[in-house]
Homo-oligomer: A and B are copies of this chain.
Amino acid sequence: MELILSEHSESKDLIMKVGILAGATSNFGELWHISPRQMVREVTDEVLKEARLPKSKIDAVFVGNMLSSSLGNQDHLGAFFAEELGLSVPSTKVEAACASGGLSVHLAALSILSGQYRHVLVIGVEKMTDYKPELVNRALMGAGSDGEREAGATFSALYALIARVHMAKYGTKEIELAQVAVKNHYHASLNSHAQFKKQITLKQVLKSPPVSSPLKILDCSPITDGAAALILSPSDNKSQVSIIASQVATDTLGLSQREDLTSLKASIIAATNAYRQAGITPLDIDVAEVHDCFTIAEIIAMEDLGFFPKGEAAKNIFAKKTWIGIGHPVVNTSGGLKAAGHPVGATGVKQIVEIFHQLNGTSGNKQVENARLGLTHNVGGSGATCVIHILKKN
């Protein structure tokens, strides 16, 4: 299955324009001294200040989070953070595993388009490093299928399987996987909020300890604490950047039910619908944040999103065709999940914050020149949910 730009579904032809007034992320990392409440307060204060909006103007809150229930025994997270922020407005927790953040933005955008809400706060937040790794691993497998859990498979193991099939079918090499990590660590070295700001070499990746062969530790995104926030509103002159497409698709939870392991069907469906909704093609995208939970995931995303023909992404990434200052589109300027960190419920929100900053020209060291169109790609589990957003500089 490849990107099908001619497919047509009448219900997805809505022209979308939702303004982004502000975006912020906390530092990402092992933040043992900072509570989720404090992280959320910090990013919320920052976006309210940036948007010059009094708190009383917030009409609704969406909270993207995966693990507060299974790790922290805290449900009812919408009301939890509304209380913390001193708000009595509608507040919803949205959960779709590692795509919780992207799905929160999707629902927030639709709530703006509905006309019921004018200023919507989107929060993505996850606290992961306070718990034992075994507990975190078990909780993360809540996103998988019953069969995968019963078999003891972890996401590293599942993505290793995917990598093996991609290598067998397209000749993808371990050194090409490694280059994804090298690029994303380089980009993260330009991002003051990133978990890993240190550049790494191909040799370091290839020599790093195996996690689930062919994936080594430096092929994997880390366990991370972090939060991100956005304020959305109807598109008007105040917003310099708009969301012009927001699309979601789902697939089977487990790999065993899928026809093909070398692409994610949900990514292809969501991307197809998003390009049509935005009225653009993949070639128009200047900058993208994609879901590189493992290095193989970025290679597959490049193909599923139509940036490179099937089977050709690895060598193009290796040739630096997606590197800052060199390539087009530039991919994962934040450092991606791999090097900026992956606080699972926050990731999808952080991706939009990153592209928002790229398009309004406030990305500092990692600014991509003349970026006008950007894309975010947020995946839940091993591809059971995919959320795509396309953003445009007004």
CA A368 – CA B114 in complex, angstroms?
33
A106 in contact (CB, < 8 A):
yes
Contacts of A144 in B (CB 8 A): 76
What is the minimal beta-carbon distance from A243 to any residue of chain B, in angstroms?
Answer: 12
By beta carbon, the residue of chain B nearest A37 is B146
By beta carbon, the residue of chain B nearest A77 is B95
What is the minimal beta-carbon distance from A53 to any residue of chain B, in angstroms?
Answer: 13
CA A351 – CA B12 in complex, angstroms?
30
A266 in contact (CB, < 8 A):
yes
CA A124 – CA B189 in complex, angstroms?
45
Stretch binding the partner chain, chosen from A195-203, A244-252, A291-299:
A244-252
Contacts of A78 in B (CB 8 A): 95-96, 103, 250, 385
Stretch binding the partner chain, chosen from A82-90, A207-215, A309-317:
A82-90
A14 in contact (CB, < 8 A):
yes
Q: Could you say which of A59, A73, A95, A111 has the most chain B C-beta atoms within 10 Å of its C-beta?
A: A95
Q: Would A76 and B97 count as touching, CB distance under 8 A?
A: yes
Q: Would A89 and B142 count as touching, CB distance under 8 A?
A: no
A69 in contact (CB, < 8 A):
yes
CA A91 – CA B385 in complex, angstroms?
8
A237 in contact (CB, < 8 A):
no
Q: Would A75 and B92 count as touching, CB distance under 8 A?
A: no
Q: Would A73 and B76 count as touching, CB distance under 8 A?
A: no
Return the contact of A83 from the options B75, B142, B253 (Cβ within 8 A).
B253
CA A257 – CA B55 in complex, angstroms?
20
A230 in contact (CB, < 8 A):
no
- A137-153 interface bits toward B, Cβ cutoff 8 Å, 1 = contact, 0 = none: 01101111010010000
Return the contact of A93 from the options B95, B117, B252, B381 (Cβ within 8 A).
B95
Q: Would A88 and B249 count as touching, CB distance under 8 A?
A: yes
By beta carbon, the residue of chain B nearest A140 is B75
Known contacts A73-B142, A83-B252; A14/B380 CB under 8 A: no
Q: Would A94 and B96 count as touching, CB distance under 8 A?
A: no
CA A88 – CA B12 in complex, angstroms?
14
A364 in contact (CB, < 8 A):
no
A161 in contact (CB, < 8 A):
no
What is the minimal beta-carbon distance from A98 to any residue of chain B, in angstroms?
Answer: 9
By beta carbon, the residue of chain B nearest A80 is B253
Contacts of A136 in B (CB 8 A): none
A372 in contact (CB, < 8 A):
no
Contacts of A6 in B (CB 8 A): none
A158 in contact (CB, < 8 A):
no
Known contacts A69-B69, A385-B78; A89/B14 CB under 8 A: no
Q: Would B76 and A381 count as touching, CB distance under 8 A?
A: yes
- A52-79 interface bits toward B, Cβ cutoff 8 Å, 1 = contact, 0 = none: 0000000110000011011001111111
Q: Would A111 and B107 count as touching, CB distance under 8 A?
A: yes
**A-B residue pairs in contact (CB < 8 Å), sample of 19:** A14-B115, A16-B116, A69-B70, A69-B142, A73-B142, A75-B97, A76-B144, A76-B253, A79-B250, A80-B253, A83-B250, A88-B249, A88-B251, A88-B265, A91-B248, A92-B248, A93-B96, A94-B94, A111-B114
| A residues neighboring B (CB under 8 Å) | 10-12, 14, 16, 59-60, 66-67, 69-70, 73-80, 82-83, 87-97, 103, 106-107, 109-119, 138-139, 141-144, 146, 149, 246-253, 257, 265-266, 269, 380-381, 384-385
